[in-house]
Amino acid sequence: MRDLFRGKLVRITAEEPETYAKSEIHWQRDSEFVRLADSDPIQLSSAKKIKEWAEKRFEKGLKPDRYSFTVRTLDEDKLIGFFGLRIDLMHNEALVGIGIGERDFWGKGYGTDMMKLCLQYVFSELCVERVSLGLHEYNARALRSYEKCGFRLEGRTRKDILREGKRYDSLWMGILREEWLQMQNGDPI
């Protein structure tokens, strides 16, 4: 059987809210990271606030429609990022959000490895039929990574993001269960 929590470069972890807050407070100061990850106005939160958020998200009330994970590198055991899932239980569909806060780990395959783990978890453990995600047009690195994982570009909301006086599109991608299964080359899941 596969190890659901271990990829080639990273592993999925659970973190103490305090540990997570320490990393997040450092990540949020990188405005480029926040702009790639989110379309909300950039804000700075106190470590206390982040810790409280993490306590709520990680510790209280595990819900069948919400999953939050953190990710560490295999070689140095460094906390580099996170991913979260929201499941539409009735339609058996998942929306994923993913990010690497540590910019030294951008463009080196860590995100792709994370997303592969994420897809493995959603399709083989949660048994969903499809996974969706959204990204900004100006995040070419992410687009390429998602394509490598098997996501297909499904649509775009034109010019809905305004950054530095320019308007950009939001892109929507998706992968179906059959498509993911085909990529597994018949390996047991």
Residues that bind other proteins (CB under 8 A): 63-65, 87, 89-92, 125-127
CB-count exposure of residue 142 (10 Å: 0-12, 13-18, 19+): buried
Using the minimum distance from each CB to other proteins, give the nearer residue, 89 or 183: 89
- 131: enclosing H helix or E strand: strand 130-136
Closest separation in Å from C-beta 64 to other proteins: 5
C-alpha to C-alpha distance for 4 and 15, rounded to whole angstroms: 17
In the three-class reduction of DSSP (H, G, I as helix; E, B as strand; rest coil), residue 27 is classed as helix
Using the minimum distance from each CB to other proteins, give the nearer residue, 31 or 92: 92
Closest separation in Å from C-beta 146 to other proteins: 24
Closest separation in Å from C-beta 61 to other proteins: 10
Closest separation in Å from C-beta 9 to other proteins: 27
Using the minimum distance from each CB to other proteins, give the nearer residue, 64 or 165: 64
Using the minimum distance from each CB to other proteins, give the nearer residue, 87 or 149: 87
C-alpha to C-alpha distance for 173 and 134, rounded to whole angstroms: 6
Residue with tokens 């080639």, as numbered in its chain = 8
Q: Which of 102, 104, 105, 103 is nearest to 113 (CA)?
A: 105
